[in-house]
Amino acid sequence: MATKIDYYAVLEISRDASGDEIKRAYRKLAMQYHPDRNQGDAEAENKFKEINEAYDVLKDDQKRAAYDRFGHAAFEGGGPGHGPGGFDFGGGGLGDIFEQMFGDMMGNRRDSRRSGADLQVQVTITFAEAFTGAKKKITVPTRVICESCDGSGSADKDQQPETCPSCHGAGKVRAQQGFFFVERPCPTCHGSGRLIRNPCKECHGSGTVEKNRSIEVAIPAGVEDGTRIRISGAGEAGGKGVPAGDLYVHVAVESHPIFQRDGANIYCRVPVRMGQAALGTEIEVPVVDGSRTKVKIPAGTQTGEQFRLRGKGFSVLRSSARGDMYIQVVVETPRHLSKRQRELLEEFEDDAAGHAKGSPESTGFFSKVKDFFEGKL
């Protein structure tokens, strides 16, 4: 049997190297000798295996202490690395490269605590409630801590769950396939990381039971349709010692028969009679806060003209400010005229025909039409 090379020499570090120095050396060498970068190079492949074997020992404080004291003899009868196709419960190898480099960023480290499932629910509020803010009671079907076992999952409260001997509490095992690892739930504990010898009859060992729970949700003023509110810890219970998930409340805001909203601004479409628009008038309009305000419509107002009312709009989220309100004028042409109205309008039209300044847009348009037909345009 070939003599094993000193693990410190394999990683090219001193014997008093810190954990961070060991990790940096391993990453550098593993990338350098990775088979994908050295295809067909048997020497690089063997070097890659040595690097993984050395790192698997030196990254673990207990294994490192045993190696420093007894050398390779400390692991005779079953080395720290496992052959292809075997299960690896302690980590190491190419899987650690990716997990250490990207695990923290993805929030997916093996030692991170599990939590209960997140829940989602939708609540519908009125336009007025979106303006003022509201408190809504909702019923959420969820899982809560089992009262019979106090979340332990065991029928005997004095008996604590045991750490799963197969996955050592990780809840998952890794199978090595060539130079890659595939993670799967531990078949012994079904992913829980623990074993319960005498399961609770109420929760069957899970530590949680299904139950409808009432929650009061505070919806802030200024919330928009489609807003998602996160309530930390209001999701499903995760069992004893495991944090609960979160509850996400999706807010749906009902439409309003008078107002249309665009962010913090409100638009109100107001029809006025032809005579009012021509002569000018003053109208009273509602405001979203329940008050009223008067708007002066000047003589000659046309359809589409807007009048801005500052500070009369919608609430601004997390602020005491308010947006603006816009009155959009629509000049309404009368229908179903009485005999008297028709006579007056005919008289008005006869007079208007000789008064071009009264309707400058129509006069200008038909003047251009005339020029078009005469070939001047």
Q: What is the pLDDT of residues 214-260, one digit of tens each?
A: 889 999 999 999 999 999 888 887 766 678 889 999 999 999 999 99
- Given 2.40.50.1070, 2.60.260.20, 3.40.50.2300, 3.40.50.2000, which CATH number is that of 259-332? 2.60.260.20
Separation CA 358–CA 356 (nearest Å): 5
Tell me whether residue 24 is exposed, middle or buried, using C-beta atoms within 10 angstroms of its C-beta: 0 to 12, 13 to 18, 19 or more.
middle
β-pair partners for 214: 139
Which region holds residue 73: left if phi is over 0, alpha if psi is between -120 and 50, else beta? alpha
Tokens (6 digits) for 17: 């190297």
Q: Is the pLDDT of residue 104 over 80?
A: no
User: pLDDT band for position 267 (50/70/90)?
Assistant: very high
| 346 C-beta neighbours (distance < 10 Å), count | 11
User: pLDDT band for position 113 (50/70/90)?
Assistant: very low
Q: What is the pTM of this model?
A: 0.56
| Closest residue by Cα to residue 325 from 258, 253, 236, 241 | 258
Tell me whether residue 69 is exposed, middle or buried, using C-beta atoms within 10 angstroms of its C-beta: 0 to 12, 13 to 18, 19 or more.
exposed
| Delimiting residues of CATH 1.10.287.110 domain(s) in the chain | 7-81
Is 268 assigned a ligand-binding role in the annotation? no
Separation CA 72–CA 265 (nearest Å): 74
Residue with tokens 């947006």: 323
Helix (H) or strand (E) holding 265: strand 265-273
Query: Is 88 within 8 Å of 216 (Cβ atoms)?
Result: no
β-pair partners for 209: 144
* Three-state SS at 150: coil
Separation CA 76–CA 276 (nearest Å): 101
Average pLDDT over residues 288-312: 95
Average pLDDT over residues 28-34: 87
Tokens (6 digits) for 286: 């509602």
Residue with tokens 């039209």: 349
Percent of the chain with pLDDT strictly greater than 70: 84
| Closest residue by Cα to residue 316 from 239, 221, 198, 210 | 221
| Delimiting residues of CATH 2.60.260.20 domain(s) in the chain | 119-161+196-253, 259-332
- 173-196 tens-digit pLDDT: 877 665 566 778 887 776 777 777
Tokens (6 digits) for 71: 């050398």
Beta strands in 146-207 (DSSP E): 162-163, 172-177, 180-185, 194-195
- Alpha-helical segments (H) within the chain: 7-10, 19-32, 42-58, 61-70, 94-106, 127-132, 274-279, 339-353, 360-373
* Superfamily of domain 119-161+196-253 in the CATH hierarchy: Urease metallochaperone UreE, N-terminal domain (2.60.260.20)
Q: Is the pLDDT of residue 3 over 50?
A: yes
Q: Is the pLDDT of residue 90 over 70?
A: no
User: pLDDT band for position 46 (50/70/90)?
Assistant: confident
Separation CA 229–CA 246 (nearest Å): 10
The pLDDT of residue 77 is 47
Q: Is the pLDDT of residue 139 over 60?
A: yes
* Superfamily of domain 7-81 in the CATH hierarchy: DnaJ domain (1.10.287.110)
Separation CA 314–CA 337 (nearest Å): 40
Q: Is the pLDDT of residue 101 over 80?
A: no
| Better pLDDT: 158 or 319 | 319
Return the ∠ at Cα 253 (arms to 248 and 254), rounded to 5°.
Answer: 145
Average pLDDT over residues 93-105: 43
The pLDDT of residue 76 is 61
The pLDDT of residue 363 is 74
Pairing of strands 228-231, 281-286: unpaired
The least confident of 48-52, 71-75, 81-85, 197-201 is 81-85
| Better pLDDT: 33 or 241 | 33
Q: Is the pLDDT of residue 359 over 90?
A: no
The pLDDT of residue 177 is 60
The pLDDT of residue 105 is 40
Helix (H) or strand (E) holding 376: none
Task: Please report, as a single letter, which amino acid is at residue 109.
Answer: R
The secondary structure of the chain in percent helix, strand, coil, rounded to multiples of 5, reads 30, 25, 45
The pLDDT of residue 224 is 93
Question: Across the chain, what does the average pLDDT equal?
Answer: 81
| Closest residue by Cα to residue 145 from 57, 218, 224, 240 | 240
